[in-house]
Amino acid sequence: MDTFSKAERSAVMARIRSANTEPEMIVRRLVHAMGHRYRLHRADLPGKPDLVFPKKRKVIFVHGCFWHQHGCKGSHQPKSNTAYWIPKLERNQRRDAEHLSNLRAMGWNCLILWDCELGKSSLSAKLSRFLG
């Protein structure tokens, strides 16, 4: 049973953004500080990648561990309304795999950064290796 009324739940869910999230902004600031320039959320690419490097044919997705079910502590399974949440999260995973497959078929190199990785010191090195 949900602890919020339908109107309260709607207000909570409406505040969840899909672009310009705090994890995405952390990655964008770091990549910019490294001297790389990028495009944002290109709608003509599968999945609208968060950062796009057209000349390098590389894209970065910044995924929330819960929404994309990473497998870490942050990707827990909801305990309420499971009939809704479990299929939704599974659809997210299938859609992510399809987007990655389509991008790779188009010749793009893809990197997924997870929310739980962003505080680690190895993030900068991972980005440097990926972007060259």
Note the pTM of the prediction, 2 decimals: 0.87
Eight-state DSSP code of residue 47: T
Domains within the chain, CATH numbers bracketed: 20-131 (3.40.960.10)
* CA 117 vs CA 27, 51, 59, 121: distances in Å: 11, 17, 17, 9
Mapping DSSP to helix (H, G, I), strand (E, B) and coil, where does residue 79 land? coil
Q: How far apart are CA 38 and CA 54, in angstroms?
A: 7
Q: Give 33-61 pLDDT, tens digit per residue.
A: 999 999 999 999 999 999 999 999 999 99
Residue matched to tokens 């995924």: 63
Within 3-116, strands assigned E span: 39-40, 51-53, 58-63, 109-114
The overall average pLDDT reported for the chain is 92
pLDDT range class, residue 9, cuts 50, 70, 90:
confident
